[in-house]
């Protein structure tokens, strides 16, 4: 018998540590080679690590939420034959775990009824008590609407009109107490770290606009009605992606990263669009790469592929990295505006709201047009207000005259 000590592997792309988000094995469990043992979240994605050997779990290093450094032992096994470790080298002696204590406090509904306490005498005036006694009404079954739950004459009237205590009862007034501590771990912590980094380091400014997408809607409906078998149904996003290809070519300063340490703006030739995607596990930003080389249908197909992978948890590191500009869509939720936070180290982000019919003035007449609102945010350290506004205006021009997107 021997001891096999397994070190946190190098997951790639410069990752130096990972957060434990789930253990799949307990101490004493028998595992086979390639059985899943541990889920680790890096800055890019969640990775399931398989067992390197057949054996019995001897020790585990780190609880859910702990940070494990690459190259340090995270688990050890009792195996048949010679191992690679001695008793002294097993995880108990290694100090590589970082404890994170970030917590958020939320209210826990722990009701304490103030208007009625079991065994306590209902609050009511002598006149109300006399009337209730004469009418045969049990005051314990009546909800009081007065101060501290005091029963009033009108409460008796409501009780009698409803014909039953259940029907007469309105919303109960209850004082809530107690708290629940929810550790901020896994993807939630990565989102928190990224948002804090973005908002604390980037000098944001935002710009809003309305775009008349009436003609675009007609084109979208026509293409969807005549699409080939197996082709995806088009939303507005593939058109916006295609319009951004042209817009970012005209304003290359917006398709860039800002290296804070070197104070260098890195403009990208490729247009790799991150698509902010809400999933059951939190917010991911899968990337459609080289949009400049795609047509409308290819955009739609690739967007569905990468966002689908993010939603079902199959997105690999290459899907979740490499964006040069990000689109975030509130979809049907709509809203009048927002101030999206830039996806660091990018220098801009575009927010898309829902499109809806609105009354607008055209040539002195009130007409119904389909209007889409957009919000954008820019890194004012390196993108002037004029530059960010110009990109939005270029986008507006293409979307309001959609034939020009393809010229």
Q: What is the DSSP string of 58-104?
A: EEE---TT-EEETTSEEEEEEESS--SB-GGGSGGG---PBP---EE
For CATH 4.10.320.10, list the domain ranges present in the chain: 111-176
Name the CATH superfamily for 202-406.
Answer: Chloramphenicol acetyltransferase-like domain (3.30.559.10)
* Whether residue 384 lies in the annotated active site: yes
Contact at 8 Å (CB) between 378 and 388?
yes
Give the alpha-carbon dihedral of 112, 118, 123, 126, to 10 degrees.
Answer: 180
The pLDDT assigned to 249 comes to 97
Can you give the pLDDT at residue 40? Answer: 86
Nearest-5° Cα angle at 296, 376 to 328: 25
Residue 113, token pair as written in the block: 């009824």
Q: Kindly report the backbone phi and psi dihedral angles of residue 151, in degrees, each rounded to the nearest multiple of 5, phi listed first.
A: -85, 130
Per-residue pLDDT at 162: 67
pLDDT of 322 reads 94
| Catalytic annotation, pick one of 43, 318, 380, 387 | 380
Specify the pTM: 0.68
Region(s) of the chain under CATH 3.30.559.10: 202-406
The dihedral built from the CA positions of residue 259, 264, 265 and 267, taken in this order, carries a sign that is negative
Query: Which pLDDT does position 17 carry in this prediction?
Result: 83
What's the chain's Rg over C-alpha atoms?
A: 30
Q: What is the pLDDT of residue 108?
A: 41
Q: Residues of CATH 2.40.50.100 domain(s) within the chain?
A: 2-100
Spatial distance between the Cα atoms of 319 and 338, rounded to a whole number of angstroms: 26
* Distance (Å, whole) CA 6 – CA 336: 53
Residue whose tokens read 């057949």: 54
Domain 2-100, what architecture? Beta Barrel (2.40)
Phi and psi dihedrals of 13, rounded to 5?
55, 35
Nearest C-alpha neighbor of 157 from the set 128, 179, 193, 122: 128
CA angle 395, 372, 195 (to 5 degrees): 75
Arch. (CATH architecture) of 111-176: Irregular (4.10)
Residue 404 pLDDT: 97
The pLDDT of residue 295 is 96
CA-to-CA separations, 211 to 63, 126, 335, 389, 391, in angstroms, rounded: 50, 67, 14, 13, 13
Q: Could you list the mean pLDDT of each consecutive 10-residue stretch along the chain, which spans 407 residues? A: 88 76 92 91 78 93 87 90 66 48 41 45 78 82 77 80 53 74 82 89 96 97 94 96 97 96 96 94 92 97 96 88 94 82 96 94 95 96 96 98 95
- Scan for tokens 């703006």, then name that residue: 265
Single out the catalytic residue among 138, 157, 295, 384: 384
Predicted local distance difference test score (pLDDT) of residue 76 = 92
């Amino acid at each position: 018998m021997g001891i096999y000590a397994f070190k946190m592997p190098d997951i790639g792309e410069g990752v130096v540590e990972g957060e434990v988000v789930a253990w799949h094995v307990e101490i004493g469990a028998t595992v086979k080679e390639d059985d899943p043992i541990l889920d680790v979240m890096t800055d890019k994605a969640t990775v399931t690590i398989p067992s390197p050997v057949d054996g019995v779990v001897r020790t585990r290093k780190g609880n859910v939420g702990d940070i494990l450094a690459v190259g340090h032992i995270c688990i050890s096994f009792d195996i048949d034959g010679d191992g690679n470790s001695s008793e002294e080298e097993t995880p108990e002696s290694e100090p590589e775990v970082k404890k994170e204590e970030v917590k958020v406090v939320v209210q826990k509904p722990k009701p304490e009824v103030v208007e009625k306490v079991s065994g306590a005498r209902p609050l009511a005036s002598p006149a109300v008590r006399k009337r209730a006694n004469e009418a045969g009404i049990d005051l314990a079954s009546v909800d009081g609407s007065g101060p501290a739950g005091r029963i009033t004459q009108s409460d008796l009237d409501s009780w009698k009109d409803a014909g039953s205590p259940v029907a007469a009862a309105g919303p109960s007034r209850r004082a809530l107490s107690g708290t629940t501590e929810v550790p901020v771990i896994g993807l939630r912590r990565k989102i928190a770290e990224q948002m804090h980094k973005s908002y604390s380091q980037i000098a944001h400014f935002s710009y809003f606009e309305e775009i008349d997408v009436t003609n675009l809607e007609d084109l979208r409906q026509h293409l969807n009605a005549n699409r080939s078998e197996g082709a995806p149904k088009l939303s507005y996003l593939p058109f916006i992606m295609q319009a951004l290809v042209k817009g970012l070519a005209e304003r290359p300063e917006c398709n860039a990263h800002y290296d804070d340490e070197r104070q260098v703006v890195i403009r990208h030739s490729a247009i790799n669009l991150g698509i902010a995607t809400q999933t059951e596990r939190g917010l991911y930003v899968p990337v459609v790469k080289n949009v400049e080389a795609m047509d409308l249908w290819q955009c739609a197909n690739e967007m569905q592929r990468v966002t689908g992978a993010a939603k079902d948890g199959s997105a690999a590191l290459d899907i979740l990295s490499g964006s040069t500009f990000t689109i975030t869509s509130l979809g049907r939720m709509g809203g009048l505006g927002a101030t999206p936070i830039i996806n660091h180290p990018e220098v801009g982000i575009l927010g898309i709201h829902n499109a809806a019919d609105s009354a607008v003035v055209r040539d002195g007449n009130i007409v119904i047009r389909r209007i889409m609102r957009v919000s954008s945010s820019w890194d004012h350290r390196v993108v002037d207000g004029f530059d960010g506004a110009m990109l939005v205006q270029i986008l507006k021009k293409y979307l309001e005259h959609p034939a020009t997107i393809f010229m």
